[in-house]
Amino acid sequence: METTHKIIRKHSLEKLYVTLLENRKIYAPVKQADNLIGYQYNPAFSEVTFDHLQSTLSVKNVVFPKVENLFYYTNNKTDSTVKGIDLEKFPEVVLWGAHPCDTAAYDVLRSIFCWDIKDEFFAARLEKLVVIGLACHKSDALCFCTSVGLSPDSSKGSDILLVPLNNGDYKAEIITEKGSRIVAESPEIFENYGDETVNVTVVEQKFDHKQLTSKLSNAFEHPFWLANSLRCIGCGACAYVCPTCACFDIQDETRGKNGKRYRSWDSCGFGLFTLHTSGHNPREVQSQRWRQRILHKFSYMPERNESLGCVGCGRCSRACPVDMNIAEQLQALQSI
Ligand code: SF4
Ligand code: SF4
């Protein structure tokens, strides 16, 4: 559908929020201890923040939970039973106030989880999700969305995008049918947009992702990987905060005759991730794992999924205990 532009006055946001809460769950950003930002389900409107730079963790857990139960089973001597999960019972969730890098990440995840065989759990959660994005009026030196084809006011992945205006109100870009349905529920809140000036930050472009992808196609054996990953301790923090990392493990947990199978987040940065039962590990040193992380996101995915595997949020750089600044590494890789 064609995007339409409206205005929401600052004082009307609470009404919209409360209306949405009447029959859905809302996942919204709040300030936590030590000035950290985290998302919570159904916080009071007074707790929700609108001026945050970024949450510590991304919001991928709404569609790809840290732990997802896949089915339950009972094993008896004579028979076994398996009880599946009723995907219809997944709740409808409104993601409120996610920044454009995080909303764009849902498209990246879709290109992974629905690439060949559709992952029913992921698809069912995404179907029940309505995304109200919030354009950024703040950024820092670690943000690089403009280097991966996005921008601080990109509407990719949002059903409605709120763009801050200089006067404190918000422009509402209504992008999808899901967004239109929200507008139809509270039409009085959405006023006609004039020519009010938007208040959006500027993010400097640090590299050209097309040139980088082309350079990486011949970089597998380059000494860069070893030289630049010696300090990586393989902690996996970069993958756990990343909105687009999708590695997972599958485990069974049993007690007596009853058990469940679940999947949980994992990381290709861990040595155990590729360890075979034979004892052979095709990625036995950290530099091979670091290379995999970069090549998957910036070479294999553009080739196979027609999507970069990174949205330039900079979270991995903020979380890394040894300062492996990904944008600096990508800049350097462009020139090898
Ligand atoms: S967060 Fe840093 S140290 Fe930890 S695995 Fe990632 S790059 Fe390595
Ligand atoms: S900047 Fe880091 S955390 Fe953010 S999407 Fe890219 S790889 Fe993931």
Break the chain into its structural domains and give their ranges: 1-63+75-205, 206-336
Q: Is 172 in the pocket of ligand 2 (CB under 6 A)?
A: no
> What per-residue confidence (pLDDT) applies to 76?
84
The response to whether residue 316 sits with its C-beta less than 6 Å from ligand 2 reads yes
Question: 258-265 and 67-75: which strand pairing?
Answer: antiparallel
Per-residue pLDDT band for 269 (boundaries 50, 70, 90) equals: very high
**Is residue 77's pLDDT more than 90?**
no
Taking CA atoms only, the protein residue closest to ligand 2 atom 2 is 316
pLDDT at 74 over 90: yes
Give the CA distances from residue 17 to residues 32, 71, 192, in Å, rounded to whole numbers and listed in that order: 20, 34, 20
Is 312's C-beta closer than 6 angstroms to any atom of ligand 2?
Answer: yes
Q: How far is Cα 190 from Cα 119, in angstroms, rounded to an integer?
A: 36
- Top-confidence residue, 44 or 1: 44
- Whether residue 243 is predicted with pLDDT greater than 90 in this model: the reply is yes
How deeply is 2 buried, as exposed, middle or buried, from its count of CB atoms within 10 A (0-12, 13-18, 19+)? exposed
Query: Chain-wide mean pLDDT for the chain?
Result: 96
Compute the distance from residue 140 Cα to the ligand 2 centre, in Å.
14
pLDDT value of position 78: 84
Instruction: Examine the pLDDT at 125 and tell me if it is beyond 90.
Output: yes
For the chain, the maximum distance between any two Cα atoms, rounded to a whole number of angstroms, is 73
Say which ligand is closest to the CA of 308. 2
Q: Is the pLDDT of residue 306 over 90?
A: no
pLDDT at residue 92 above 90? yes
What's the number of CA atoms in the CB half-sphere (13 Å) around residue 138? Answer: 6
Task: Give the number of the ligand closest to the Cα of residue 307.
Answer: 2
pLDDT at residue 211, as a whole number: 96
Nearest CA to ligand 2 atom 7: 310
E runs forming strands in the chain:
4-8, 25-31, 37-41, 67-75, 80-84, 93-98, 129-134, 160-164, 170-174, 191-192, 248-255, 258-265
Name the pLDDT band for 79 (thresholds 50, 70, 90).
Answer: confident
CB 147 within 8 A of CB 172: no
pLDDT of residue 1: 86
Contact 242, 315 (CB under 8 A): yes
> Ligand 2 centre and the CA of 212: distance in Å?
16
Q: What is the mean pLDDT of residues 192-217?
A: 94
User: Is the CB of 133 within 6 Å of ligand 2?
Assistant: no
Write down the pTM of the prediction. Answer: 0.95
Query: Strands across the sheet with 25-31, in order?
Result: 37-41, 25-31, 93-98, 129-134, 160-164, 170-174, 4-8, 191-192
Specify the pLDDT at position 282. 95
Q: Which of 92, 10, 13 is nearest to 45 (CA)?
A: 13
Give the integer Cα–Cα distance in Å for 212 and 169: 39
CB of 322 shorter than 6 A to ligand 1: yes
Q: What is the DSSP letter of 91?
A: P
Q: Tell me how far apart the alpha carbons of residues 60 and 129 are, in angstroms, rounded to a whole number.
A: 11
Task: Flag whether pLDDT at 88 surpasses 90.
Answer: yes
The CB of 241 under 6 Å from ligand 1? The reply is no
Of the listed ligands, the closest to the CA of 229 is 1
pLDDT, one tens digit per residue, over 279-296 is 999 999 999 999 999 999
pLDDT-derived band at 199, boundaries 50, 70, 90: very high
Q: Is residue 187 classed as helix, strand or coil in its secondary structure? A: helix
Residue to mutate, 206, 209, 244, 295, ligand 2, most ligand atoms under 8 Å from C-beta: 244
Residue 161 has pLDDT above 90, yes or no: yes
CA dihedral 229, 233, 237, 240 (to 10 degrees): 80
Q: How confident is the model at residue 32 (pLDDT cuts 50, 70, 90)?
A: very high
Task: Work out the pLDDT band at 139, boundaries 50, 70, 90.
Answer: very high
Please state, as a whole number, how many other Cβ atoms lie within 10 Å of the Cβ of residue 86: 8
Distance CA 125, CA 62 (A): 7
CA distances for 159 relative to 89, 100, 277, angstroms: 22, 11, 45
Q: State whether the beta carbon of 145 lies less than 6 angstroms from ligand 2.
A: no
Kindly list the strands in the beta sheet with 248-255, ordered across the sheet, starting from the edge strand earlier in the chain: 80-84, 67-75, 258-265, 248-255
> Has residue 258 got a pLDDT over 90?
yes
Give, in order, the Cα–Cα distances in Å from 321 to each of 91, 169, 198, 311, 327: 36, 38, 36, 21, 16
CA 211 to chain centroid: 24
- Beta-carbon contacts of 331 under 8 Å, excluding residues fewer than 6 positions away, are 206, 207
- pLDDT of 97-109, one tens digit each? 999 999 999 999 9
